[in-house]
């Protein structure tokens, strides 16, 4: 998690799409990574940006979070221009990178209290306890983060990014390297965020992650968004599948989750549903 700065509640009140991007271009020397990206992300939705390695997903996220300047084009986040109103953008967002940025020496609770203090929040202890509860980390809260699993670290990282209630959050490959159980835990946390009105832009290489989470999915390829729509719209791009009567085999993921006990993580519903689709 990147602690950007304190977030006044007034930033929640800006109207329009949460993210608006038009004609965005970015090159690194000769390498043209973004060649005219257009996209809009409605408020309170989960938007998945898909793309293969090197497609430019992290570059997009860095530009939207003001860490990198675009060459041309415009990008607005929470109504603010990333180039000319960077401070307002930073006050509106949080960014969780691919590698969890939590302090190993501290406990989970101490990490949260630290960020709450840095962001000048009142009652940092109460904020920490609330987030630990929301992310099912209450038991682990008093343990050093060095003893946490990858999924626990990632959940703590996301929890830290929520302090101050930023209206827009960026998650760059939030479940990379996590096992299926931990991924489901992170997915659940992300869904809860969107239900609470937060806009989430996440990048992923996992198609099932986009399928599970996103209201809209865009595919970044060769510097442009080549597809952008709901899952149903994307599926409609392909000809309807022929009906074949074959026995439905569970996927390896279904088997893995059944054996390790997905029910404990709240993933049972999803697993059952995917078996019957």
Ligand X SMILES: Nc1ncnc2c1ncn2[C@@H]1O[C@H](COP(=O)(O)OP(=O)(O)OP(=O)(O)O)[C@@H](O)[C@H]1O
- Give contact residues for ligand X (rule: CB under 6 A): 28, 31, 33, 51, 53-59, 205
* Min separation Cβ 184 and ligand X, Å: 22
Number of helical H runs and strand E runs in the chain: 10, 10
For residue 1, the partner it binds in ligand X, Mg ion, none, with Cβ less than 5 to 8 A by kind, is none
Residue with tokens 């401070």: 87
Q: Phi first, then psi: give them for residue 218, nearest 5 degrees.
A: -125, 145
For residue 11, the partner it binds in ligand X, Mg ion, none, with Cβ less than 5 to 8 A by kind, is none
Nearer to ligand X, 34 or 128 (CB): 34
For residue 51, the partner it binds in Mg ion, ligand X, none, with Cβ less than 5 to 8 A by kind, is ligand X
* Min separation Cβ 177 and ligand X, Å: 12
For residue 33, the partner it binds in Mg ion, ligand X, none, with Cβ less than 5 to 8 A by kind, is ligand X
Q: Phi first, then psi: give them for residue 63, nearest 5 degrees.
A: -65, -45
Nearer to Mg ion, 58 or 96 (CB): 58
Q: At what angle do helices 180-195 and 252-260 cross, to 10 degrees?
A: 90
User: Cα separations (Å) of 88 from 79, 97, 175?
Assistant: 9, 20, 28
* Min separation Cβ 141 and ligand X, Å: 31
Nearer to ligand X, 42 or 99 (CB): 99
* Min separation Cβ 94 and ligand X, Å: 18
For residue 153, the partner it binds in ligand X, Mg ion, none, with Cβ less than 5 to 8 A by kind, is none
Identify the sign of the CA torsion 57, 131, 166, 194: positive
User: What's the start-to-end Cα distance of the chain, in Å?
Assistant: 36
Nearer to ligand X, 56 or 267 (CB): 56
Distance, in Å, from the CA atom of 236 to the CA atom of 76, rounded to the nearest integer, reads: 30
CB 6 within 8 A of CB 165: no
* Min separation Cβ 172 and Mg ion, Å: 6
* Min separation Cβ 32 and ligand X, Å: 9
Binding site for Mg ion (CB under 5 A): 57-58
Nearer to Mg ion, 57 or 154 (CB): 57
Residue with tokens 């198609």: 207
Nearer to ligand X, 138 or 205 (CB): 205
Q: At what angle do helices 108-118 and 150-161 cross, to 10 degrees?
A: 20
């Amino acid at each position: 998690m990147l602690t950007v700065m304190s977030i006044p509640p007034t930033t929640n009140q800006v109207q329009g799409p949460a993210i608006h991007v038009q004609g965005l271009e970015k090159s690194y020397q000769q390498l043209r990574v973004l060649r005219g990206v257009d996209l809009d992300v409605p408020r309170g939705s989960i938007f998945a940006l898909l793309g293969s390695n090197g497609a430019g997903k992290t570059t997009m996220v860095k530009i939207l979070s003001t860490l990198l300047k675009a060459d041309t084009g415009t990008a607005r986040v929470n109504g603010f221009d990333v180039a000319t109103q960077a401070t307002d953008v930073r006050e509106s967002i949080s960014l969780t990178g691919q590698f969890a940025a939590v302090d190993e020496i501290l406990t989970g609770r101490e990490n949260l209290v630290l960020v709450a203090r840095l962001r000048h929040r009142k009652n940092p202890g109460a904020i920490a306890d609330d987030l630990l509860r929301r992310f099912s980390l209450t038991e682990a809260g008093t343990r050093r983060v060095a003893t946490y699993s990858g999924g626990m670290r990632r959940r703590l990282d996301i929890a830290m990014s929520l302090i101050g209630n930023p209206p827009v959050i960026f998650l760059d490959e939030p479940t990379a390297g996590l096992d299926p159980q931990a991924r489901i835990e992170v997915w659940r946390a992300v869904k809860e965020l969107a239900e609470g009105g937060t806009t989430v832009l996440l990048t992923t290489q996992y198609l099932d992650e986009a399928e599970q989470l996103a209201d809209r999915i865009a595919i970044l390829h060769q510097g442009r968004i080549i597809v952008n729509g709901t899952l149903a719209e994307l599926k409609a791009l392909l000809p309807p599948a022929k009906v074949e009567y074959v026995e439905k085999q569970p996927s390896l993921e279904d088997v893995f989750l059944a054996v390790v006990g997905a029910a404990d993580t709240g993933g049972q519903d999803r697993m059952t549903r995917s078996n019957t689709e």
